[in-house]
Structure 1
Amino acid sequence: MHPEEGVEVTASPAVADDAGRRALVALVGVTLLSLVVRLQSLGARTFHWDEGRVGYWILRYHETGRFSYRPIIHGPFIQHVDALLFHVVPATDFWARVPVAVITAALPLSAWLLRRHLDEVELVSLGLLLTLDPLLLYYSRFMRSDALVGTFAFVAFTLLVRAFDTRRPRLVYPAVVSFAFAFGSKENALVYVLCLLGAGALAYDHQLVRAATREIGAFDRLKTDLTATRSWLDDASGETPSALWLAGVFSGATLAFLAVIVLLYAPRPDIWTALDGPRQFANVVDSATVEAGNRFVEGWVETGHREHPYVAFLHDMLETLLYGSAVVLTLAVVGFVVDGYGGDGRILVAFTSYWGAVSIIGYPIATDIQAPWAAFHVVLPLTVTAAVGVAALVRLVERGVATDDRATVALAALVLTGAAAGIVVANGDYWNSAAEEDRKVLQWAQPENELKPTLAVVDAVVRKNEGRDVLFYAGDDDRFHVANESSLDQPPPGGPSWHSRLPLPWYLERAGATVTSTPAETTATEAMSDAPAVVIAAAEDRDALESRLEGYAVAEHRFKLWGEGIVVFVDRDAIREAGLEPSAL
C-alpha cells in the first residue's frame, strides 16, 4: 500500500492513536456482545437433520476413540473438538454448538487487524455487522462447519493484510494456521481460495483502471508495483536476501499448514502411534493428506455432486440473501459506490466487494444442495464494504448537523435507523426459529421446536427403562427400518433408512437407548404385539398404531418443516416410573 508518482494506491484512513484505542475498546465490547448473543438460549432449537447426523457420529467417536475422515460429513475439526469437550461436559444441544458459537463470536476482534484501511467508525461498524447480521448470527448458533470455515478463512485474510501492512512476516504463520483450520473445518475452504484469487485479480484490475484514469499507463503502474513489492520483501526480510528469506517463510508456512492438517485428518487411534518409527509416521501423514485428498475427490468431485441446475441454485442463494441479510447487501452497495466513485477507492473495499460478488457467482456451482447456510460465505466479506457504507451515512449526518442541513440529517438518520431496525426485527424472527414461514433462511430438514419437550420425556423414560427402549415402525415404505442396528456402531450407517430418522439418533444415542425397527412387511398388529416403552412412526401411520397402543401417550410433530411429520408414543407407566406426570407428553 504505497503512494507512487502522486498516485494513492489505497487511501488508508489509519486510525490515530486515541481513536485507535477507542476503537479497540469498542471492539472488545462488541466481541463480548457477540459472545452473549451467540450463547443465549443456544440449546433452545431442536437439532437440525445435519446437526443430528454429525452429532451422532461424534458420540460414537467419543465412546470408541475411532475416527476416520468421511467427506460426506465434512471436515473433522468440530468432531474432534466436540468429542474432547464431551469428556468434560454433557453431550447436549447447547454444548455441541458452543465451539461454533465461541469461535465465531471472536470475529469482531479481527476487524482490528484492518485498522490501516478503515477508520474508527468503520472498524466498530464492521464489528457490529459481524455480530448482528441475522444470517451470520443464525448459523453461528448452528452445529455445522460453514460458520467455522468462514471464520477461520476471514481471520486468515485479515492477518495477511496486517502482515502486508506492517512488514511483519511472523504474522504469516498464524494466518496459515488459521487457513489450515479452515481446511480442517470444511472442504469449501478450497472455494475460499478460488474466491480470494478471483477477487484479487478483479481488485488489481480495478487499481489499473483507476491509474489509467489518472493518465498513468498500466505497464508503468505494473512496474511500479513490482518495484514496491521487491522493496516490501527487502524491508520485511531485513539483511537476509529476499529470495532466501521468501523460501524460508514459504517452507515454514507449509510445514505449519501440514502439521495442522495431519493433526486433524489423521485417523484415530493410528495418530497416537505416529512416533513409533519412520514408517508409521509416514503412514499417518499419508492417511491424513494423500488418502484424505483421494476420499475428497471420490466423494465430491467424481460422484457428480455438483450436477444441478445453476439458475435454480443461484435464485435460492439470492432469495436467502435478500431475506436474511438485506441490510448488509444494501449498505455494501452504498459503501462500494461511495468509496469507489466518491472517495479514495481503497483496494480493501474493492477486494471485499469483489470477494462477495465472486462468491455469489461461485457458490451455486460449488454447493451440492440448496441450503441457505451457503449464503454465510457471501455475507462475510460484504460486511467490510457494508461497514464503509455505515460510516458514510454517519459522516453525512455529522456534516448535515454542522451545516444545519436538516433534510440531509433526516434522510441519513432514517436510513441508519431503518437498517438497525431491520437487523433487530430479522434477528427477532430468526433467533431460534424452526418455523415454516422462515423457510427463506432455514433449511427444510429442521424439526419444529415443539419436538424438544417430547424428546426430553423420551430421554427420561429411556434412562429408567430396562430392555428394549425404542421401536421405529417402518410402515409400508420401510422408512425407518435398519436391518442390523449394530451396523451403526461405526460409519457408514447400515442403510439409507437410518438417515430418515435424523436427528433422533443423536438424542437416542446420548440417552443410551436400545433401538429396534420393523421391516416393511410387518403389520401394525404384529409390530405392536410386544411394543417397548417408546414407539416412533411417520405421522400418517398414527391411526393404524393408536388403537393398538392403549395406555400410551402420544405426540405428533413436524419432523421436516414442510412435507413430513412423526408421531411419538410413550407408555404412561414408563413415564410415571421416570418420575414424570403422564401429562408431560
Structure 2
Amino acid sequence: MTNDDGVGATAPASAVTRPESETATPAPVLTGARTLYAVLAVAAFALLARLVGLGTRIMHWDEGRVGYWILRYHENGEFFYRPIIHGPFLPVVNDWVFTFIGVSDFSARLVVALVGGLFPLAAWLFREHLDDTEVVALALVLAANPLLVYYSRFMRNDVLVAAFSVFALGFVVRAVDTGKLRYLYFSTASMGLAFTTKANALLYLVCYLGAAALVFDHRLVGIAARGESVWSYLRSRPRWAKRGLRNRWKNAEYGAGVLVVNVVGALLVFLAVVAFFYAPRPELWQALAQPSGLPAVLDEATVGAAEEFYDSWGSGSHQDHPYLPYLYGLLETLVYGAGVTIVFAVVGLAADGYGSGTTGRRGRRWLVAFGLYWGVASVIGYPIATDIEAPWAAVHVVVPLAFPASVGIAYLYRETRASVVTRDTVSVGLAAIVIVAALAGVVGANAAYTNSTSQENEEVLQWAQPDNDLKSTMQDVERVAEANDGVDVLFYGSYHPTTDETLMYVENEESLERMPPGGPDWHGRLPLPWYLERADANVTSTPPSENGTALENPPPVVIAYGWEADHLREQLPGYTEHRHLFRLWSDEVVVFIDESELPEE
C-alpha cells in the first residue's frame, strides 16, 4: 500500500507484491515470529555486550559527581531536584539498586546498561512500516553502534532519554496501527520516564513534531505536483480522520468519548510518573503517610521542578559558547563513532527514495523521512543546546539515523542474496567487501571503546576521564580507609598553575553531606569522592598556599595534583607515590599511600 504522494505508511513486507521481473529473488528468510525471535536474539547480544566487564573502567568525572550524590541520598534519604545533575531517574532507581545488590561501579551503571541492552526491542514497534529484514537491521544498529554501546556502559542519562523517547514514539505508532488504546498509556509512561532522565526529552518532542510537520508537508507537495487541490485535501482530513477512527475502533467501547477519556488518562499517567520521580524525599513518604501534605509535594514535583529547570537552563547561560567548534566536535564524533551508521543511512535514503527496489512501491516512506529530518535537526540543534562539548551528544543523532540506516543494511542484504542466486560474482564480491569492512569497523570500534580511557579515542571519550590505572590505587585507598582509625585521606589544596583556580580544598567537609557541595573546589576531586564515600573514608583537606602547605602528622593517604608532587615527596618519606592521568587531556593526580597501613589481602 502506497501513499498518493509516496511519503507515508506502507504495508508490511508480507503484503508486498513484487514485480514479475524479480521473481527470481529469493523470498525473505525472516517472516512473522522469526523476525521477533531475531530481534530478541539481537537484544540478548546487546545486553551481553553491555554487561560483560561493566565495572572495569574507572568512573568518569561526571559519573563520580552524580554517583556521590546518589550515595548521599542512599545514606540519608534526602533528595531534591537539581537541574545541574539532570533528572532524578538515576538517583531514585540506583538507590534501590544499591539496596539490593550493593554499591560498585558495576551496580552504578547497571540500569543504563539494561535499558541500552533492551533498546533494540523498540524496533519491533515499527514493524508495520519496515519490512522484516529492516526491523532486524534497526535492532542491530541500536545494539551494535559503538557510541550507543559505549554510553550504555556509562552512568549518564543520554542513552536513557533516547531509549525511553523512541519507545514512546513506537507505542504511539502501534496505537495508530492497531487501534489499541492501551499503547497510549505505554507511550506516556515511557515519555514520562524520558522526562525524568534528562531535560532534552523536550528536544525529542520538538524533533518529533518538526519531523512530522515536514513529512506532512511532503504529502502536500506531492498532491500539488499532481495538480490536485491542496485545500480540498486539507478540508477532507477531518472527515477522513473520523472515518478512520470509526473503522479502526469498531467496538462501541471505542467511541469518541472513550477515546478522549483514554487520552486524558494517558496524560495523567505521564504526570504521575514525573511527579513520583521529581517529588523531594523524604517529603514524599511523609505526604503519603499524611495526605494533607500531598498537594505541596506534588506542586514541588511539577511546578517547582519546572521553575528550577527554567532558572538553571532557561536563561541560556549554559549555551553561551561559539557554535562552530561544537558543531565540528559533534561531526567528528559521528565520523569516528558512527561512520558505518552514517554510510548505511545514506544508502538507505537513496534506496528508499529513488527506486522501487524489491518492494514495488514508489517514494520515500514516512518513517525513513521522519528519521532523516529528526537526525538533521539534531545535528543542527545539539551544538546550541549542549553546555559543554561532549561526545555523548552524538547519541541523539545516531538514534534517528538508525531508521534510514536499517533500510540501507536491508537493501545491501537483499541485493547480496539476489546476486548469490543469480551467481553474479562481481556483485557478491563487492557486497562482501562492504559487509566485511562494516563489520570490522563496528567490531573494532567497540573493542577499542568498551573500557577505554585512551587519549587515542578522544573523539568518542569525554576529556574528564581518568586513566584506568587509578582504579587499582583507589582500591588500596579504600582498604586503608576501612582499616584505619581517624583521618584516612587528606586532599592537598592547591592553585592550578595556568587558571589559578583553587582545587581540592573544602573549608567545611560536613557541607558535603547534602546538596549542593560546599564550594566549587570540591569538583576538582572528582571522581575520587565516589570511591571514598562508598568506603566511608574520613576525609579532610588543606587550604592552598603559594609556597606550599607544610604537613603535620599526615594521614596514611595524601592526594594532590601532579604539580605538587615534588613538594610533597619531601614531606612524606616512606610513602609510596602513585601518579596517574586524572583528566586525559590535561592534569595528573598523585596519590601518596603509607603502605604500612595497608591490611593484608
Answer whether TM exceeds 0.5 for this pair.
Answer: yes
2:446 corresponds to:
427
Change over 3 Å in CA distance of 1:424–1:391 after alignment to 2: same
Q: What corresponds to 1:180 in structure 2?
A: 192
Counterpart contact for 1:167–1:232, Cα < 8 Å: no
Q: What is the letter of the counterpart of residue 580 of structure 2? A: H
Residue 460 of structure 2 is matched in structure 1 by: 441
User: What is the count of residue pairs matched by the alignment?
Assistant: 576
How far the C-alpha of 1:357 sits from its partner, in A, is 1.1
In 1, the alpha carbon distance for the partners of 2:290 and 2:92 equals 25
Q: Please, which moves more after superposition, 352-361 or 203-212?
A: 203-212
Residue from 570, 575, 582 that aligns with 1:559: 582
- Say whether residues 1:132 and 2:144 are aligned partners: yes
Which of 529, 547, 566 lines up with 1:505 in the alignment?
529
Q: Give the secondary structure class of the aligned counterpart of 1:106.
A: helix
Q: Does 1:196 align with 2:217?
A: no
Change (3 A) 1:392 1:220: farther
Q: 2:472 aligns with which of 433, 438, 453?
A: 453
| Residues in 2 aligned to 1:74 and 1:80: alpha-carbon distance in whole angstroms | 12
Query: Is 1:372 matched up with 2:410?
Result: no
Q: Which residue does 1:286 correspond to in 2?
A: 299
Judged with a 3 Å threshold, the aligned counterparts in structure 2 of structure 1 residues 297 and 129 are, in CA distance, closer, same or farther, namely: same
Larger mean Cα displacement after TM superposition, 207-216 or 105-114: 207-216
Matching of residue 489 in structure 1 with residue 546 in structure 2: no
For residue 524 of structure 1, report the CA deviation from its aligned partner. Answer: 4.5
Give the conservation status (yes or no) of the 8 Å contact 2:348–2:409.
yes
Q: 1:579 to 1:522 in 2, by over 3 A?
A: farther
Q: Which amino acid aligns with 1:553?
A: T
User: Is the 1:15–1:116 contact (alpha carbons within 8 Å) kept by the matching residues of 2?
Assistant: no
Partner of 2:169: 157
Match of 2:281 in 1: 268
- Quote the Cα distance in structure 2 between the aligned partners of 1:150 and 1:5: 32
Letter in 1 for 2:307: N
Q: Extract unaligned runs of 5+ from structure 2.
A: 16-28, 357-361, 497-501
Q: Are 1:351 and 2:366 counterparts?
A: no
Percent of aligned pairs with the same amino acid: 47
Partner of 1:13: 12
2:352 corresponds, among 329, 339, 344, to 339
Question: How far apart in 1 are the matches of 2:67 and 2:468?
Answer: 18
Aligned ranges 1:391-430 → 2 under 5 Å:
391-430=410-449
Alpha-carbon separation, structure 1, partners of 2:326 and 2:4: 46
Matches within 5 A, 1:224-263: 224-237=236-249, 238-239=251-252, 243-263=256-276
CA contact (8 A) 1:38 1:141 kept: yes
2:337 is equivalent to residue 324 of structure 1? yes
Deviation per CA, 1:333-368: give whole Å up to 9, x if none.
111111012133211111111111111111111111
CA apart distance, 1:18? 7.1
* 1:559-578 to 2 correspondences below 5 Å: 559-575=582-598, 578=599
Corresponding residue of 2:600? 579
| Cα distance, 1:4–1:544 mapped onto 2, change above 3 Å | closer
- Cα distance in 1, alignment partners of residues 527 and 455 from structure 2: 18
Change in CA separation of 1:221 and 1:432 when aligned onto 2, cut-off 3 Å: farther
Q: Tell me the residue number matched to 2:99.
A: 87
Contact preservation (8 Å) 1:390, 1:416: no
Does 2:534 correspond to 1:521?
no
CA RMSD of aligned residues (A): 1.9
How far did residue 224 of structure 1 move?
Answer: 5.0
User: Counterparts in 2 of 1:94-105, with a 5 A limit?
Assistant: 94-105=106-117
> CA offsets, 1:377-413, max 9 Å, x none?
1101211110100011111112222333222222223
Partner of 1:583: none
Match for 2:443: what amino acid?
A: V
Q: Find the counterpart in structure 2 of residue 37 from structure 1.
A: 49
TM-score, with normalisation over the residues of structure 1? Answer: 0.95
Counterpart amino acid of residue 469 in structure 2:
E
C-alpha contact (below 8 Å) 2:83/2:309 kept by paired residues = yes
The secondary structure found in structure 2 opposite 1:442 is: coil
CA contact (8 A) 2:65 2:526 kept: yes
Give per-residue Cα distances to partners, 1:66-92, cap 9 Å, x unaligned. 110000000000111111111112211
SS of structure 2 residue aligned to 1:42: coil
Greater shift after overlay, 469-478 or 239-248? Answer: 239-248
TM-score by length of 2: 0.92
Q: More deviation in 272-281 or 309-318?
A: 272-281
Alpha-carbon offset, residue 239 of structure 1: 3.0
Q: Deviations over 1:233-255 (max 9, x none)?
A: 22344436854234212210111
Shift of 1:475: 2.6
What is the aligned partner in structure 1 of residue 490 from structure 2? 471
Q: Deviations over 1:112-159 (max 9, x none)?
A: 111111112111111111111000100000001111111100111111
Quick check: 1:167–1:235 contact (8 Å CA) kept in 2? Answer: no
Instruction: Indicate how the Cα distance of structure 1 residues 4 and 55 shifts in structure 2: closer, same or farther if over 3 A, else same.
Output: closer
Spell out, residue by residue over 1:163-205, the C-alpha distance to the aligned partner (whole angstroms, 9 max, x if none): 1111112101101000000000111100111111111111222
CA contact (8 A) 1:444 1:562 kept: yes
Which stretches in structure 1 are left out of the alignment for 5+ residues? 581-585
